[in-house]
Structure 1
C-alpha cells in the first residue's frame, strides 16, 4: 500500500499515456486540444505545381453519384483523404466541418472527403454521429502517388486550372483564417 501511494503519480501518468495511445478518441481529443492552442497550423505558402491529369480521377458518393476531378475545371477542389479509425483524422474533423460549412453553398469550391477505406456506410454513420455535414466519397480509380501516397490524413487543394496548389500530410487546423483566405484567393484568381 505504501508503494502505491509513493508511485501514484507515476501510475497515473502511465495510465494516461496508455489511454492516449490505445483509445483513438482520447488521442483525437489531445490533438484537438493542441490544435486550439496553435499547433498544427497548415503552411499555405502558394506552391503551385503541375499536377497529373485530373481526368479519370473518380470518387463515388453514398448515393452512387460519381465525380470525375477532370470535370471540375474552373472550380477549386478541396480533397481530403481520411479514415474513421485514424485519430489525427478524427481530430481535424471539427475544423474541416467548420471550413466546409463556410463554403458549402459556394459553387466555385468543391469538397471531397474520401474515406481511404472505401466504407461509405461506416464513414456516413461516423459523420452523422458527430453532426458533421461533410459529403463522404470513396475512391473509384487509381490515384497517383503525387496526390495521395497513403499517409492519413492528407489534404490536397487544386486551383481552378487543376494545378496542385496545396498538399499537407498529417493533422492540421483547417478552420484557420489562413486557409479560408487561401481558398478565397484561389477562387477569385483568373
Structure 2
C-alpha cells in the first residue's frame, strides 16, 4: 500500500510541478561549472532586463521586496517560462486576459528561460500566442535572475509582488488564475 501511495505521489508531483526534462529543456540548466560559478558570483540583486521590443526594465529584488521605477505602483508577476514547455503555453491565454483587464495596475514580465533561442522563432511564437506582456531576452541576465530567485530550475515558475513591492506568492507550475486575480483586486482596495 505504501509503494502505491509513493508511486501516486511521484506521478502527481511530476505532472503538477512544471517542465523540467533535460531532453525538452535544451540546456536550461547550465552544465558548464565555470559559467555556473560566474553566475553565482554575480550576487547583485539589481537586474537590467531587455525586452523583445528593445525596452529596458530595471528592478531590484532583495529581502522579499521588489523596487523599480519602471514598475512603480503595480502588482508584478515575474514568470520564468520557455517556448518548449506545455504548461507555459497553457497559461499564456490566461495571462493575456488578466493582463488586459488590469493593465493599469498589473504587469507580467515573461523571463525567457532558454539558451540560444532564435529571435525569429521567438517572435513567431509570441505572434502565434498573441502575447500581450513584455518578454525579456538577455540570456545571461535572465539566467542570473533565475539563479538568484530561489534557484529556479523548472518552468513555469512565477513570483508575485504587490503594489508596495512586497512578495505575495510563489507559483511552481501553472499560476492559479483566481489567486492572481484576488491579489490584484485586493491591491485596488
TM-score by length of 2: 0.59
Matched, 1:156 2:170: no
Q: 1:152 Cα deviation (Å)?
A: 0.1
Report 1:85-104 matches (<5 A).
85-104=84-103
Contact between 1:147 and 1:156, CA under 8 Å: does it hold in 2? no
Specify every segment of 5 or more residues in structure 1 that has no aligned partner in the other structure, as ranges. 1-52
Judge conservation of contact 1:80–1:156 (CA < 8 Å) in 2.
Answer: yes
Bigger Rg, which one: 1
For residues 59 and 115 of structure 1, do their structure 2 counterparts lie closer, same or farther at Cα, with a shift above 3 Å needed? same
Partner of 1:128: 127
Give the TM-score taking structure 1 as reference length: 0.59
1:63 equivalent to 2:53? Answer yes
Greater alpha carbon shift after TM alignment, 138-147 vs 67-76: 138-147
Summarize deviations over 1:18-51 as a string: whole Å, max 9, x none.
xxxxxxxxxxxxxxxxxxxxxxxxxxxxxxxxxx
CA shift at 1:109, angstroms? 2.0
Root mean square deviation of aligned Cα: 2.6
Mapped partners of 2:100, 2:87: distance in 1: 20
- Label 1:121 to 1:185 Cα distance change in 2 as closer, same or farther (>3 A): farther
Summarize deviations over 1:90-130 as a string: whole Å, max 9, x none.
Answer: 112221121112122x0x32221111126354333212112
Distance 1:68 1:81 in 2: 16
**Any conservation in 1 of the 2:99–2:107 contact (CA below 8 Å)?**
no
Provide the C-alpha distance between the structure 2 equivalents of 1:59 and 1:148, rounded to a whole number of angstroms. 18
Q: Distance in 2 between matches of 1:126 and 1:153?
A: 16
Structure 2: which 5+ runs fail to align? 1-42, 60-66
Query: CA–CA distance in 2 between the matches of 1:156 and 1:169?
Result: 9
